[in-house]
């Protein structure tokens, strides 16, 4: 079992890397528009961390990230990211532990699932609140997913490095 | 194979659900921003300010390097425009004096439109595929309230404050799919509703709906706020009509408006904290 101080250090490194991705989203990705769409990085973060860290630590990280996102971003309702991210993380951890070994294809799969789940939840909320066109919102969700997936090539290596370095040190 | 979801996973999901419900309830019962976003906003404000300054500097340098020729041409054009406007101002001053004299003669009431505003800096442009929001650096401590209009220095409508924290506020721009504002076609005086939509948001446009059975709107028409019901000031410029389209069912028409405010390049805005209702 890892000492507590080491665990704290490890999750601080994860938090710092996540902060970098927040900066990447707000300073760079928010200004990119392809066919009227912008990449949306946040759902990738809990999915990829959970893929590496498993079913115990991944969803807890996702819960914390969800609370931060709800405080910083504007979802369809308060608590949207808090409830969505742990579910996404749990799914990613289950896939990583049971079906696909954590690597490129697993990351691609869980990232796509996380983005589609986020878009799907938004569509559900819009429909339940009586607004929006399903076909149009589905098109936005698919477009957003395709546009954001390449960002996985930046997110995955950094989280993988943190995971491997912290695992190999002990 | 391990059990897909163990007891720990269920516990985390239950905690997440409880926190989400708590956040929703806090947000629902709060007249200003909910406690957690408010606190986060206060803490994040200095960092957002630094990030905004950094972003502005980078953009200024990029613009300088990539758009030098275009800026030079624009500068020449602006000089010409200023000369023309100075001539217009001179004529307007004479007209204003004449207007005052005629009003006094006929006993007409002055149509004032006094606006009180608070200058604010744009900290974050939270433009996603689902919403178009801005975070500004003024909040309830500066007299900003939910529902206040936000305009540019030229008086072009930017959006409406949807959440007011202590020293920050969230502004929903006119492009957001949840925006719905009473509007007026300046040329004809016809009323309509300017509203954002998912399909036009990506193009940086919004729709003018509820035009009636025989809409009298053409490309180039100026659209302003109607000010009806007194929620927002009247005569704030929303934008110009680009084209008129038939709706999906083919029974009605709507106009596509190009906003006059350059929403993607905003750094400074003005919150209308109070105004006189003009009939």
What is the residue whose two structure tokens read 């878009």?
A: A119
Residue A23 has pLDDT above 90, yes or no: no
Please name which of A148, A67, A47 lies closest in space to residue A107, comparing C-alpha atoms: A47
Residue A14 has pLDDT above 80, yes or no: yes
Q: What is the pLDDT of residues B34-74, one digit of tens each?
A: 666 777 777 777 777 777 777 777 777 777 777 788 888 88
The rounded distance, in Å, linking the Cα atoms of B214 and A70 is 45
Query: Could B2 and A97 be called an inter-chain contact, meaning their C-beta atoms sit closer than 8 Å?
Result: yes
Main-chain dihedrals φ then ψ at residue B259, nearest 5 degrees: -60, 145
For residue B24, the chain A residues in CB contact (below 8 A) are 77-79
DSSP bridge pairs for B185 = B223
In this prediction, residue B178 carries a pLDDT of 86
DSSP string, A54-66: HHHHHHHHHHHHH
Nearest CB to A144 within list B1, B24, B129: B129
In this prediction, residue A100 carries a pLDDT of 84
The rounded distance, in Å, linking the Cα atoms of A91 and A156 is 17
Residue A132 has pLDDT above 70, yes or no: no
**Structurally, what CATH architecture does the domain formed by B180-260 represent?**
Beta Barrel (2.40)
Main-chain dihedrals φ then ψ at residue B111, nearest 5 degrees: -90, 80
Question: CATH number for the domain including A101?
Answer: 1.10.1760.20
In this prediction, residue B222 carries a pLDDT of 92
User: How many residues in total does chain A contain?
Assistant: 170
| For range A152-165, the mean pLDDT | 89
In this prediction, residue B79 carries a pLDDT of 92
For residue B133, the chain A residues in CB contact (below 8 A) are 74
Nearest CB to B8 within list A33, A55, A68: A55
- Which of A:16-35 have CB within 8 Å of B? 23, 26-27, 30, 33, 35
Domains contained in chain A, number: 1
Task: Say if residues B130 and A122 touch (Cβ distance below 8 Å).
Answer: yes
What is the residue whose two structure tokens read 């239950």?
A: B14
DSSP string, B169-212: EEEEETTSTT-EEEEEETTT--EEEEE--HHHHTTT-EEEE---
In this prediction, residue B234 carries a pLDDT of 84
Coil vs helix vs strand at A109: helix
Nearest CB to B5 within list A60, A85, A90: A90
DSSP 8-state secondary structure symbol assigned to residue B229: G
In this prediction, residue B72 carries a pLDDT of 84
For residue A90, the chain B residues in CB contact (below 8 A) are 5, 9, 12-13
For residue B50, the chain A residues in CB contact (below 8 A) are none
Query: Could A71 and B36 be called an inter-chain contact, meaning their C-beta atoms sit closer than 8 Å?
Result: yes
In this prediction, residue B279 carries a pLDDT of 52
Residue A109 has pLDDT above 80, yes or no: yes
The tens place of each residue's pLDDT in chain B, 279 residues long, gives 556 667 777 787 788 777 777 777 776 666 566 666 777 777 777 777 777 777 777 777 777 777 788 888 888 899 999 999 998 999 888 888 888 888 777 766 555 566 788 899 888 887 788 888 888 988 888 889 888 999 998 889 999 998 888 888 999 999 998 888 999 898 888 889 999 888 888 888 999 988 877 778 888 999 999 887 667 888 889 999 999 888 777 778 889 999 998 888 888 899 998 887 655
In this prediction, residue B50 carries a pLDDT of 77
Main-chain dihedrals φ then ψ at residue B137, nearest 5 degrees: -95, 25
Domain enclosing residue A103, as ranges: 4-168
Task: Judge whether B51 is closer than 8 Å to chain A, CB to CB.
Answer: yes
In this prediction, residue B100 carries a pLDDT of 81
- Which of B:59-78 have CB within 8 Å of A? none
- Which of A:39-68 have CB within 8 Å of B? 40, 55-56, 59-60, 63, 66-68
Complex ipTM over 0.85: no
CA B235 to chain centre: 14
CB pairs under 8 A between A and B: 116
For residue A140, the chain B residues in CB contact (below 8 A) are 129-130, 198
| Averaged pLDDT of chain A | 87
For residue B13, the chain A residues in CB contact (below 8 A) are 59, 86-87, 90
Nearest CB to B16 within list A66, A98, A140: A66
Q: What is the pLDDT of residues A27-86, one digit of tens each?
A: 788 878 888 888 999 999 999 999 998 888 888 999 999 988 887 788 888 888 988 999
Query: Could A26 and B51 be called an inter-chain contact, meaning their C-beta atoms sit closer than 8 Å?
Result: yes
């Amino acid at each position: 079992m890892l000492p507590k101080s080491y665990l704290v250090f490890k999750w601080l490194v994860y938090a710092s890397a996540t902060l970098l991705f927040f900066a990447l989203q707000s300073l760079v990705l928010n200004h990119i528009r392809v066919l009227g769409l912008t990449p949306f990085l946040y759902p990738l973060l809990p999915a990829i961390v959970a893929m590496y860290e498993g079913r115990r630590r991944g969803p807890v990280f996702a819960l914390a990230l969800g609370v931060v996102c709800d405080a910083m971003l504007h979802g369809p309702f308060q608590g949207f990211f808090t409830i969505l991210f742990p579910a996404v993380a749990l799914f990613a951890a289950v896939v990583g532990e049971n079906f696909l070994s954590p690597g490129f294809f697993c990351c691609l799969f869980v990232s796509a699932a996380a983005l589609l789940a986020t878009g799907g939840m938004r569509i559900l909320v819009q429909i339940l609140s009586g607004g929006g066109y399903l076909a149009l919102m589905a098109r936005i969700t698919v477009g957003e997913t395709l546009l954001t997936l390449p960002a996985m090539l930046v997110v995955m290596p950094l989280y993988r490095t943190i995971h491997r370095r912290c695992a190999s040190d002990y | 194979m391990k059990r897909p979801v163990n007891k720990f996973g269920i516990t985390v999901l239950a905690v997440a659900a409880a926190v989400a419900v708590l956040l929703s309830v806090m947000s629902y019962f709060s007249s200003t921003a909910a406690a957690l976003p408010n606190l986060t906003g206060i803490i994040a404000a200095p960092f957002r300010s630094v990030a905004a300054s950094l972003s502005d500097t980078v953009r200024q340098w990029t613009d300088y390097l990539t758009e030098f020729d275009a800026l030079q041409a624009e500068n020449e054009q602006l000089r010409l425009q200023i000369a023309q406007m100075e001539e217009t101002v001179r004529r307007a001053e004479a007209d204003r004096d004449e207007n005052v004299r005629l009003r006094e003669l006929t006993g007409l009431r002055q149509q004032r439109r006094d606006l009180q505003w608070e200058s604010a800096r744009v900290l974050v442009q939270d433009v996603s595929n689902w919403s178009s929001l801005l975070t500004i650096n003024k909040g309830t401590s500066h007299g900003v309230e939910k529902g206040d209009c936000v305009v540019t220095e030229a008086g072009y409508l930017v959006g409406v404050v949807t959440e007011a924290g202590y020293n920050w506020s969230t502004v929903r721009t006119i492009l957001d799919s949840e925006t719905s504002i009473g509007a007026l076609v300046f040329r004809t005086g016809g009323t309509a509703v300017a509203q954002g939509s998912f399909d036009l948001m990506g193009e940086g446009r919004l729709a003018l709906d509820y035009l009636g059975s025989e809409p009298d709107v053409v490309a180039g028409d100026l659209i302003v706020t109607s000010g009806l019901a007194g929620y927002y000031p009247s005569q704030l410029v929303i934008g110009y009509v680009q084209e008129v389209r038939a709706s999906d069912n083919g029974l009605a028409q709507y106009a596509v408006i190009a906003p006059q405010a350059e929403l993607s390049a905003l750094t400074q805005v003005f919150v209308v904290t109070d105004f006189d209702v003009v009939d």
